[in-house]
Structures are given as C-alpha cells and as structure tokens.
Amino acid sequence: MFFIVLVYDKRGRFHTLTPTSLKLGNAKGPKIKSVVKTNAKFSLADSGFDSSVETQMNEKIGSEDELLKTRENERWRERRKKGEKFKGRKNKSNKRKRKKERRKWMEKYLKEQDKNDLEESNLNVNYSEQPLHWKAKLEGLEQRLPGAIIIGSKKCGTRALLKQLSLHSRILTAGREIHFFDRHYNRGLEWYRKQMPLSKPGEITMEKTPGYFITREAPERIYSMMKKFSLETKFIVIVRDPVDRVISDYAQGLAKNEKTKERRKSLEERIFLSSNEKIVDENSYLIRIGLYAKHLKKWLKFFALSQIHFVSGEELINKPWKELEAVQKFLNISVEITKENFWFNKTKKFYCVREKGEAEPNCLGETKGRKHPKIDQETIKVMRNFYSPYNKKFYKMVHRDFGWPEF
Ligand code: A3P
C-alpha cells in the first residue's frame, strides 16, 4: 500500500510526503507540525513509515477531510489560472468518471510536488514570500521579530545552543543565520521579520547570528528596532576559551580551503604580526573575535548587563543541560529541557539532542566538532598570554569566572 500525507510545518507551508520523503524529512526536510490529511485511512502497520514518524503522526492526525479537498481545489485553480487544462475526458454526463480521473491526475501532481518540496528543503529556500494558509492564520501564527537573539560568538557553540533551545515548546528558531544587523541592514526590518519562523502569541522567536557581537553598528541598530516596536529582546552570548576559539575558527578555514584548493596559510601567518617575533596581531580576524571584553563594552552602551546572558561554551559541551537550565530561566520560561533530552554520542564525543518520547537522537553535522589541527605549543602559550588580561576583564564585567587556562 502507498500513502501520501499532507502536512503543514512550523511556517504554515504545505508538504506532501511519502514514506521515503518522510524518512529523509527527519534529517533534512520539514518538521511536522500537523498532519492535515492522509489520502487513505492511516495505518502504520503496512505504510512504510518508520516508527519515529508514527508518534508524530498519531499525535497530530486530524479529521479534516475537507482540507484535502480545499488544497486540491487550490492547486486545481492555480493550474487553471496558468492556462493548464485538465486533459481528462470531456464527457459531462459521466461526472463520476471525470472526478476519478481528476483525482488520479491530482495524485500524480502531488507526487511531483513532493519531489519539489524535498529539493527545496535541502536548498534551504526562503519561503517567506508564500502566502500563509488560512488555518495557520486562525491559530494566530505570525512571523514575529525575535524575542531573543544569540548574538555571539563564532565557533563557541552557537548552533548547538540554538538547536537545543528549539526543543522548548515555547521557542521557535530561524533555521539559518540571518545576518540582518551586520550584513543586510539595508533590506529593512520588514525583510528581517519575514526571515522568522511562524509563532503564536506568547512564544519566543529566536535567531542566531554570531557576527552581531563583533559588529560595531549592531547594538545601536537593535536598540532602535526595540524602541520602534517596544520590544524587550533579550541577548545570549556564548563564549569559549578564546584560544580554542581561534583554533576552531582556523580549522574551519582549513576545511573550506580544502574544498576551494586555496593555499593554506599557517596559523602563525594568520595571527602574528611577524612570525619570527611571534607578536599577536590584535586586529587579525581570528584574534579579534575573542576579545570579548572589548565587544561587550560596546553593547553595554545600549543595554543593561541584565539583558545579556552568558553561556560557557565548555560547559555546553560537558553538561549542556546545566547551561540550558540557566538560559530557560533567563528567558523566563519553564525549564522543559533537561538531562533527559541529551544523549552522548561516543563517536562524536558530543551530546546530541533527543525530543522527549522520540527514539532517534539528533546530532549536529560534521562541520561541528571537527578535528583540530596540531598547533605549536609556543604559539598557544603566546596566545594565552595575550588573551589573559582581556579574559580577566571580561570575568569582572560579567561577574563570572569562566576558568580559561592562562599559560
Ligand atoms: P569545533 O568544531 O571546533 O569543535 P558554532 O556553532 O558557533 O560554529 O560552534 C561550533 C562549535 O560548537 C564546535 O567547535 C564544537 O566544539 C561546539 N559544540 C558545542 N556543543 C556541541 C555539540 N553538541 N555538537 C557539536 N559541536 C558542539
């Protein structure tokens, strides 16, 4: 037996899914928000869907037969508008046959759509231009400006933190980095809003763009957005030993160079003014990002320290649930994400997240938790010496000692 399932996702988009696409969908495709209609009585025993889908389906299946019809009619009208004609038989007297043929044609069309949906989700297409389905509107779903932003820092665990937070029932996260306040500010706030996931009133929309923390203009830009819309946006900064951060960032650069076959500069070439003397270049890209105290000073000109929460990147690796508890408290939401949501992947040596009741844990891809290159001990020592006073200043500013090694 073969099934097609109509679902709509967090953004209110429709998807037609088959057993194969749903399996793929678990990893890359849409996350099922609600099952609108199956094209046959839904029986998992012989459907070919895997068991993790079963739980989602059973919870969310609705009895909304008419929605399938609505959607079919919408598609039908769409194609008619485009001038595409239904090529069925034109015998008006045989209405039942015509209806059957039309349904067959529709099923074929939905299968095609299914393929397109999958391709699109893999390409991370922006769907914000698509009109919102009436059911989504009824539920109060809207794209809202963020209630919280992870503003930094690059290579400190920003993706892991956002993914872990997205487990919370009141948090909706944007899938990719938006880069509005650093790169795309000229596109306007309406563009920014349209990059956000759909949320209901009372839910918290979140995005992460680590570039904001080091962008001089970002605090003022965010401040003016908050003032204009009377928002009380909160900020989260995840920080990690700046020396580890440099190495992680450098490792990412190496991996990119491998793809483009560009010449690999040594770390020393990238961070020292002159490699003979080993004097750290404070303005080099790799070094600058880890000067947390300097960046924070610019944010404190616009925001109170109480509006910014700091997460330890090291703790997020070792005991993520502890950091997550503090973040949930900071966001003023119930502590739903607990130790039970984490599963340690012995191969990756990182925790992966698991939604309660779900069998399969969800780990970050291979671009996170890369193998780091071996770095000369002397270079590490010079970097530690360089960062030491900045780290101490930062601990004082945020009233937390992160305990990063000194020499
Ligand atoms: P490495 O790849 O150098 O180990 P970001 O998402 O900000 O780019 O940060 C990437 C870093 O997140 C990774 O750096 C890794 O150390 C860290 N990280 C924290 N928790 C993780 C997790 N659960 N899975 C994978 N990486 C995690």
pLDDT tens readout for residues 201-227: 999 999 999 999 999 999 999 999 999
Pocket test for ligand 1, best of 154, 155, 177 (most atoms within 8 A of CB): 155
- Would the CB of 354 count as within 6 Å of ligand 1? no
| pLDDT of 27 strictly over 60 | no
**Ligand 1 geometric centre to CA of 248 (Å):** 9
More confident residue, 295 or 100: 295
- Predicted pLDDT at 44: 42
Judge contact between 364 and 159, C-beta under 8 A.
yes
- Euclidean distance between CA atoms 147 and 50, whole angstroms: 35
Model confidence over 308-323: pLDDT tens digits? 999 999 999 999 999 9
- Greater confidence (42 vs 209) lies with 209
pLDDT-based confidence at 87, cuts 50/70/90? low
The DSSP code for 262 is: P
> What is residue 355's predicted lDDT score, i.e. its pLDDT?
81
Distances (CA, A) of 286 to 242, 280, 383, 403: 9, 11, 11, 21
CB 318, CB 274: distance < 8 Å: no
The answer to whether the CB of 384 is under 6 A from ligand 1 is no
**Closest CA to ligand 1's atom 17:** 157
- Taking the CA of residue 370 as reference, the ligand 1 atom at the shortest distance is 2
pLDDT of residue 334 exceeding 80 = yes
Instruction: Please determine, for residue 305, whether its predicted confidence score (pLDDT) is greater than 50.
Output: yes
Q: Which residues contact 12 (CB under 8 A, 6 or more apart)?
A: 132, 133, 135, 136, 137, 141, 198
Characterize 323-361 residue by residue with b for buried, 16 or more Cβ atoms within 10 angstroms of its Cβ, and e for exposed. Answer: bbeebbebbebeeebeeebbeeeeeeebbbbbbeeeeee
Strand 204-208 relative to strand 148-152: parallel, antiparallel, unpaired?
Answer: parallel
Question: Which mutation among 176, 267, 364, 368 tests ligand 1's pocket best, with the greatest number of atoms within 8 A of CB?
Answer: 368
Residue corresponding to tokens 């500013």: 397
Nearest C-alpha to atom 4 of ligand 1 is from which residue?
A: 369
The confidence band for 131, taking pLDDT boundaries of 50, 70 and 90, is low
Q: Is the CB of 316 under 6 A from ligand 1?
A: yes
User: Which amino acid appears at position 105 of this protein?
Assistant: W
For residue 163, how far is its CA from the centre of ligand 1 (angstroms)? 11
Report the DSSP pairing between strands 142-143 and 198-199: antiparallel
- Reported confidence tier of residue 25, pLDDT bands at 50, 70, 90: very low
Residue 292: which of 181, 156, 385, 153 has the closest Cα? 153
Torsion angle of the four alpha carbons 312, 360, 35, 98, in this order, in degrees rounded to the nearest 10: 140
